[in-house]
Amino acid sequence: MRKIGKNCLGCIPLLLLWVSCSAQVQGSLHLDGSADLSLQASLQPRTAALIRSLSRLAGDSSRSEQILDASTIGKSLASAPGIKSLVLRNQNPTTIEGTISILKVDAFLAVPGSPGNHNFISYEQTHAGGRLRIALDRSSGPRILTLFSPEVRDYLSVLMAPVATGESLSQKEYLALVQSVYGKALADEITAARIQVTIDFPGSISTIHGGRASANRAEFTIPLGDMLVLERPLIYEVFWK
């Protein structure tokens, strides 16, 4: 792994939408496959302290306070596949909020040349209804990471996340490793962090896997540790009519 420097620290805000934070995402999926999302993501105290420490070691004093920089995150996300537009702002130095418009959900974070069974998102709409499937596993996770800069993947490796390192660790083994290097408090934050997702679909939901549904609304609670380790594939699927 390359030495972490200022270029890597510049990518940290994008990474922190995924790593060691709690997030809430609300949105609507439309009949044409487009979507509109609102989000809020916050760093936990121990994770924020770790980032500040790494920033100081890299000589980047500018991140001593503003760790989650909405402007930097926005510039990074703007070039991601499937993004139509976005507006992000800082609520405080460790919290961002904003809106994202997705042109086609099945193009969002799509990796060119990926086999069909490794698509991150698949979407179907017919006269009888529709289907949305989101799948993340130890094959698709690293593929999605290739869309980001090498520095982002390096930083994930510093946090020893199996999705980046390729190690076949159980979540228990991973958290024990984090605790041995960074302390129990950080491991506990990763364990407790959740991503809450609420999506309104263009029809009444008939079947849902991995979440709960009421009328046309689906709700998912995704443990952060599950995403970092991918010990088991994460599969979320919704059918509507």
pLDDT tens-digit series, residues 135-162:
888 888 877 777 665 555 666 676 788 8
Which of the listed ranges 90-94, 99-103, 211-215 does the model predict with the highest average pLDDT? 211-215
Mean pLDDT rounded to a whole number for the chain: 80
pLDDT at residue 9 in the model: 39
User: What b/e string do you get for 158-176 counting C-beta neighbours within 10 Å, with b at 16 or more?
Assistant: bbbbbbbbeeebebeebbe
Determine how many CB atoms are found less than 10 A away from the CB of residue 99.
Answer: 15
pLDDT-derived band at 35 (thresholds 50, 70, 90) equals: very high
